[in-house]
Amino acid sequence: MSDVNPTISDRVVSDRHVGAVLAAAAGDALGAGYEFGPPLPADEPVHPRGGGSFNWAPGEWTDDTQMAACILSVLADGSTDIDSIAANFRTWYQHGPADVGIQTSTVLSQAGDLRSIAAEHARAHPSHSAGNGSLMRTAPVALAAPGQPDVIAQLAAEISALTHADLSCQDACVLWSVAIDHQVHHAPRSDQPWSFADAVRVGLEYLPADRRDEWAVLIHRADGASPREFPKNGWVVHAFQAALAAATSTPVPPGPDAGRHLQLTLEHAVRAGGDTDTVAAITGALLGSRWGATAVPAAWQRILHGHAADPTPVLTAIDLDSQARLAANGGRPDPNGWPGRPSMVDHYRQLPRPPQGRDAEFHGVRFGDTVTLDAAIADGAQTVVSLCRMGTDDVPSHVEHHVVGLHDTGHSDNPNLTLLLEDVADHIQDAHLSGRSTYVHCVAAENRTPSVAAAWLIRHHGYDADNALAVAGRGLNPPQSFLVDGVRSVRPAED
């Protein structure tokens, strides 16, 4: 493998690691309400509406992400132990999940070593052992050994073989997991072209030589095709091809909207019909490792939830974010103990230049820093939008909390800057219009908070960029020049 792309910062790498997991879960929840349905018209809106065959709640992920979370939790503890992952699968199955794939259920319902049971099932039922149930959960595997595709390939095959021993299933997991890792470290900036099919081809060298040509043909057939051309998407090969087809046939929007390709592609995958949640989950893993978690719409993240091996506690997008970061760092938090630290607010107050208590209100929404956070919550804030790293206990559980990956360290750390500013502004507006008292903050309200405030004023209150920046700057602080440039590219929301 070539050297890591030197133009990609560590923050972008982390955003992509989280993106692989988060976008897979978002795709799963998006497709849940359409599972087993027919193809939809190209112009039909698609939303994470819930419902479907198993009456999912809006934004609830299915067995696809439940099983992926069984893998992720082990990796987040710094382990790649196959037996621990197998134990999580068994625990998950014993709790009676609402939806379990037929092949997965057949294996997990039997006592004994899962690898042996799955291998025997593949031998005894060669025409009924190549379902998509291991490919749908493979996204976290790419985080287990960043930049080590040989290790990732071996682990992907081994985890697949716990329930899906068919060689097609193992190969698909190898190709997808290696592609995710490759994109995390090698895909260029968001404004530059990239081939998803070529990223998937990187994994061919990690397959046995006698199976590479077959997969090369399968990849070629999917590249640029419509996902509707692969209707048997409960079969791992068609699920693989449908996901790749969705990624490669959806045009990438120009300019600052490039990252919106993630949302458009997931919607395209769902409209293909059939096993919609699984195909969208597979697609999301690939898309998220290119565009990052900051391209996953805030409206989707806000309602995203589900569980892992145990039905309690309910996990959210913030939990997946934290576990993905830990998994990609061998289970270790950063030097400040994040993620997992109870309070980052206490840490911020010990900085050489601690926050000073900035606080301003614009059109009924309160903007400030971490010093005024407690006061805002005491005053009845129902939604908190954090533009900085937060601890597990910094915001009470009864308050709706959304954490945004906006950085004040430079443009290179914000690959989806305009898209993110507009998305957060829309999220704030949605909360405000729903009657929820909303507080938006970063550490010190010097850069990120005034930038988001200005974006919201432009997008939803008719301000031009100069006036929005002036108002936000007077009330809080004038932001850095790269954030000013980002704000100037924000467009008014369409009616």
Q: 416: helix, coil or strand?
A: coil
CB 29 within 8 A of CB 300: yes
What residue has token string 């019909």?
A: 273
CATH 3.90.190.10 segments of the chain = 345-488
Return the CATH superfamily for domain 10-328.
ADP-ribosylation/Crystallin J1 (1.10.4080.10)
Could you tell me how many helices (H) and strands (E) the chain has, helices first? 20, 7
SS (H, E, C) 315-366: EEHHHHHHHHHHHHCCCCCCCCCCCCCCCCHHHHHCCCCCCCCCEEEECCEE
Distance CA 160, CA 400 (A): 36
Is residue 150 very low, low, confident or very high in pLDDT (cuts 50, 70, 90)?
very high
Distance CA 225, CA 248 (A): 7
Q: pLDDT digit string (tens) for 368-393?
A: 999 999 999 999 999 999 999 999 99
Distance CA 112, CA 117 (A): 7
Q: pLDDT digit string (tens) for 187-203?
A: 999 999 999 999 999 99
CB 316 within 8 A of CB 305: yes
What are the backbone angles phi and psi of residue 51, rounded to the nearest 5°? 85, -135
- Pairing status of strand 400-403 against strand 383-386: parallel
Predicted confidence at residue 448, as pLDDT, reads: 99
Residue 3 has pLDDT above 70, yes or no: no
Find the mean pLDDT for residues 334-355.
96
Q: Take residue 136 and report the two structure tokens written for it.
A: 């749908």
Report the CATH number of the 345-488 domain. 3.90.190.10
As a whole number, the mean pLDDT across the chain is 97
Residue 2 has pLDDT above 60, yes or no: no
Q: pLDDT digit string (tens) for 384-424?
A: 999 999 999 999 999 999 999 999 999 999 999 999 999 99
CB 382 within 8 A of CB 400: yes
CA 17 to chain CA centroid, Å, is 8
Closest CA to 30 of 282, 230, 242: 282
DSSP 8-class letter at 141: G
Q: Take residue 453 and report the two structure tokens written for it.
A: 């405030």
Residues 6+ apart with CB under 8 A from 75: 140, 143, 144, 323, 326, 327, 331
Predicted confidence at residue 127, as pLDDT, reads: 86
CATH 1.10.4080.10 segments of the chain = 10-328
Q: Take residue 258 and report the two structure tokens written for it.
A: 């490039």
Closest CA to 248 of 265, 233, 263: 265
Q: pLDDT digit string (tens) for 423-481?
A: 999 999 999 999 999 999 999 999 999 999 999 999 999 999 999 999 999 999 999 99
Is residue 495 very low, low, confident or very high in pLDDT (cuts 50, 70, 90)?
confident
